[in-house]
Structure 1
Amino acid sequence: MENAIVMTTAVLGIVQAFKIAGLPAKYSPIVAILVGAVIYVAMAGISPANIITGVVIGLSAVGLYESGSRVGDKDLISPQEKEAYLRNRNK
Structure 2
Amino acid sequence: MLYFSLAVIVECVLYLAAAILVNLFLGRIGLRGSSALMVNLKYLGITSWRASIFIIYASGYYYLKRHLEQRELELHRTVEIERLRI
Q: Looking at CA atoms only, which structure, 1 or 2, has the larger radius of gyration?
A: 2
